[in-house]
């Protein structure tokens, strides 16, 4: 179809339209789009010889590298799928990924990878050693390729990037992102963040994470330059921003603090960087962005939507905390029966649109569940405010049913945490003869008075509907956690939880 557009098409067009522009900078490597397209032809040829083809998985276990971008585009050319894995994972975790993916080719850096080819299953996959010393196989492998690969029809809806998503319970799942999804998200990001002709982005966050990859692909899409930082180091980041005149970067507050400290004597010119205002020292070093995006860079996102589903900048003065949807998506807030809930009420965030995942790799049951009714179910709770803006409430995880009403622990926990004396809170459902379940809260309180329990219940009552308020509260020194969220199984067994709908 003449309207199809793949990442490979885009890079090929860059070779025609901007052959001498710099595509990627990484250490000694400075590749123009002409060179980048030619090298990814060689790489596609090498992948094909190694047995990779349409639908094959290519696994990268290593730090950030120009090779990740080359592999993405080479995979695009043959219809394969690149998975840049989190190289910090344990050997068991990486082994799970190898077994789950059955990759045709694994590219691994022995200096950071916790697994070796020997520990992988005997599946015939080709392992390519990637280092920066003489035992590197990548460059020789690439240069020995004839750049011949099957001219198979790659379609824009074919997946090209696979990112494993955090598993709150159980195994991680690989979200499949198509050419279409990456290109559509890149276009929206380009609108929001003024990613245009000549944009230079510092890939300072991990490339196995969508937060960095969404900027890397938007930069690639618009013919800009990706400057790769192997792993975050404030001195090297300052050097690169100055030398390459980076206009964007993936920076969290802790990283900004390190940059401010490193550059406290003004040794580096960071003025090319257009960034959200932070502390005063930062604002004088960079070009503080005063647009709505500059005032608020966040939104609500997920790996599964290729990045961001809503942008706070689209409704920065609105009632909701997370703005409005990306222009290429649709969002509804629904109850467990997938009916729209009225504005102002909490429900699950469901979405459709041009930059949603194609599904999960090899998880047909999960796909059926997550895409029921033709809408992707995020597993997160949100609320549509009266002005149409959205608030993200928290992960759905589980639901309590009391007196026929649906009650999401996250909403009750949010109300509890709004009380100044409460530092942590978790909410469970206890079996109840009259109501099916009764809401029970487990909280950490800073100073406990005699009236703490009724006071807290009244506090919640003032914020949300009465049927959602806890019937009883336990006060503890710490909430058992599982990663970033309460360990609800431990809470259920420790505090009498149970009787959940569907259980």
Cβ-count burial 236-270 (b if 16+ within 10 Å, e if not): ebbebbbebbbbbbbbeeebbbbbbebbeeeebeb
Q: Which is nearer to a copy of itself, 125 or 389 (CB)?
A: 389
Residues 6+ apart with CB under 8 A from 3: none
Q: Roughly what angle, to the nearest 10 degrees, separates helices 66-78 and 7-17? A: 110
- Touching a copy of itself, residues 119-158 (CB under 8 A): 157
Tokens of 57: 């998985």
Q: Cα–Cα–Cα angle for 92, 98, 100, nearest 5°?
A: 100
Helix (H, G, I), strand (E, B) or coil at 28: coil
- DSSP E strands in 299-421: the ranges are 299-302, 307-311, 324-325, 329-334, 346-353, 359-360, 376-384, 390-395, 400-402, 405-407
Q: Is 85 in the site for a copy of itself (CB under 8 A)?
A: no
| DSSP run (H or E) holding 294 | helix 292-295
Q: Which is nearer to a copy of itself, 379 or 494 (CB)?
A: 379
Q: Is 194 in the site for a copy of itself (CB under 8 A)?
A: yes
Q: Is 161 in the site for a copy of itself (CB under 8 A)?
A: no
Largest Cα–Cα distance of the chain, in whole Å?
A: 79
Determine the interface stretch with a copy of itself among 44-52, 276-284, 386-394, 451-459 (rule: CB under 8 A).
Answer: 386-394
Residue 353 CB, shortest distance to a copy of itself, in Å, is 6
Residues 6+ apart with CB under 8 A from 28: none
Tell me the sheet residues that pair with 25.
30, 227
CA distance 87 to 91: 10
Residue 352 CB, shortest distance to a copy of itself, in Å, is 5
Q: Is 4 in the site for a copy of itself (CB under 8 A)?
A: yes
Q: Is 180 in the site for a copy of itself (CB under 8 A)?
A: yes
Give the interface size with a copy of itself as a residue count (CB under 8 A): 58
- Mask of contacts with a copy of itself, 8-47, x by CB under 8 A? -xx-xx--xxxxx---------------------------
- Mask of contacts with a copy of itself, 237-276, x by CB under 8 A? ----------------------------------------
Residue 14 CB, shortest distance to a copy of itself, in Å, is 8
CA distance 101 to 461: 48
Residue 332 CB, shortest distance to a copy of itself, in Å, is 7
Q: Which of 42, 72, 213, 314 binds a copy of itself (CB under 8 A)?
A: 314
Determine the interface stretch with a copy of itself among 181-189, 278-286, 453-461, 467-475 (rule: CB under 8 A).
Answer: 181-189
CA distance 5 to 154: 9
CA distance 132 to 117: 19
Q: Which is nearer to a copy of itself, 126 or 370 (CB)?
A: 370
Tokens of 422: 């409460």
Determine the interface stretch with a copy of itself among 177-185, 248-256, 466-474, 485-493 (rule: CB under 8 A).
Answer: 177-185
CA distance 296 to 290: 9
Residue 184 CB, shortest distance to a copy of itself, in Å, is 8
Q: Which of 374, 404, 420, 502 binds a copy of itself (CB under 8 A)?
A: 374
Residue 366 CB, shortest distance to a copy of itself, in Å, is 15
Helix (H, G, I), strand (E, B) or coil at 445: strand
**Range 264-273, long-range pairs (CB < 8 A, 24+ positions):** 267/238, 268/238, 268/239, 268/241, 268/242, 269/242, 270/238, 270/241, 270/242, 272/200, 272/241, 272/242, 272/245, 272/246, 272/247, 273/241, 273/246, 273/247, 273/248, 273/249
Q: Which is nearer to a copy of itself, 17 or 111 (CB)?
A: 17
Residue 34 CB, shortest distance to a copy of itself, in Å, is 9
Spacing of C-alpha 197 from chain mean position: 25
Residue 299 CB, shortest distance to a copy of itself, in Å, is 13
- Residue 228 phi/psi, 5-degree rounding, is -95, 125
- Mask of contacts with a copy of itself, 323-342, x by CB under 8 A? -xx-xxxxxx----------
Q: Which of 113, 222, 296, 378 binds a copy of itself (CB under 8 A)?
A: 222
Residue 238 CB, shortest distance to a copy of itself, in Å, is 28
Q: 342 exposed, middle or buried (CB, 10 Å; 0-12, 13-18, 19+)?
A: exposed
- Mask of contacts with a copy of itself, 388-407, x by CB under 8 A? xxx-----------------
Q: Is 461 in the site for a copy of itself (CB under 8 A)?
A: no
Helix (H, G, I), strand (E, B) or coil at 374: helix
Determine the interface stretch with a copy of itself among 4-12, 203-211, 272-280, 492-500 (rule: CB under 8 A).
Answer: 4-12
Site residues, a copy of itself (CB under 8 A): 1-5, 9-10, 12-13, 16-20, 157, 178, 180-181, 183-184, 187-188, 190-192, 194-197, 221-223, 292, 313-315, 324-325, 327-332, 352-354, 356, 358, 371, 374-376, 384, 387-390
């Amino acid at each position: 179809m003449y309207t199809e557009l793949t990442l490979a098409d885009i890079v090929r067009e860059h070779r025609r339209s901007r052959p001498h522009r710099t595509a990627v900078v990484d250490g000694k490597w400075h590749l123009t789009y002409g060179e980048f397209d030619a090298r990814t032809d060689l790489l596609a040829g090498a992948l094909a010889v190694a047995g990779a083809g349409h639908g094959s998985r290519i696994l990268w276990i290593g730090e950030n590298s120009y090779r990740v971008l080359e592999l993405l585009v080479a995979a695009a050319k043959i219809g394969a799928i690149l998975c840049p894995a989190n190289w910090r994972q344990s050997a068991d975790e990486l082994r799970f990924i190898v077994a789950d993916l059955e990759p045709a080719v694994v590219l691994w850096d022995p200096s950071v990878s916790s697994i070796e080819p020997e520990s992988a299953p005997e599946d015939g996959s080709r392992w390519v050693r990637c280092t920066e010393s003489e035992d590197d196989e990548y460059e020789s492998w690439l240069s020995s390729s004839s750049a011949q690969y099957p001219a198979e029809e790659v379609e824009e809806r074919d997946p090209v990037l696979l990112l494993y998503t955090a598993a709150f319970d159980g195994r991680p799942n690989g979200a499949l992102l198509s050419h279409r999804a990456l290109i559509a998200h890149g276009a929206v990001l380009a609108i929001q963040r003024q990613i245009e002709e000549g944009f230079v982005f510092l890939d300072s966050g991990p490339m196995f994470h969508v937060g960095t990859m969404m900027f890397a692909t938007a930069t690639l899409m618009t013919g800009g330059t990706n400057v790769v930082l192997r792993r975050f180091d404030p001195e090297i980041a300052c050097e690169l921003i100055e030398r390459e005149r980076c206009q964007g970067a993936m920076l969290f507050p802790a990283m900004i603090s390190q940059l401010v400290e490193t550059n406290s004597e003004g040794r580096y010119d960071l003025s090319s960087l257009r960034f959200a205002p932070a502390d005063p020292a930062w604002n004088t070093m960079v070009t503080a962005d005063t647009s709505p995006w500059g005032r608020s860079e966040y939104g609500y996102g997920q790996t599964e939507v290729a990045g961001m589903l809503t942008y706070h900048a689209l409704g920065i003065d609105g009632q909701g905390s997370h703005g409005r949807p990306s222009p290429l998506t649709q969002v509804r807030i629904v109850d467990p029966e997938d009916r729209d809930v009225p504005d102002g009420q909490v429900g699950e965030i469901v979405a459709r649109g041009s930059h949603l995942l194609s599904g999960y790799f090899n998880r047909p049951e999960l796909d059926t569940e997550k895409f029921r009714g033709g809408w992707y179910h995020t597993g997160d709770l949100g609320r549509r405010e009266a002005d149409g803006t959205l608030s993200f409430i928290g992960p759905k995880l589980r639901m309590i049913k009391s007196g026929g009403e649906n009650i999401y622990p996250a909403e009750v926990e949010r109300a509890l945490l709004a009380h100044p004396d409460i530092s942590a809170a978790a909410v469970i459902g206890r079996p109840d003869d009259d109501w099916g379940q009764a809401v029970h809260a487990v909280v950490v309180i800073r100073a406990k008075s005699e009236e703490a329990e009724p006071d807290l219940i009244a506090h919640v009552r003032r914020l949300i509907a009465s049927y959602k308020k806890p019937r009883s509260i336990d006060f503890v020194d710490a909430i058992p956690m599982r990663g970033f969220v309460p360990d609800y199984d431990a809470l259920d067994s420790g505090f009498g939880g149970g009787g959940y709908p569907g259980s």
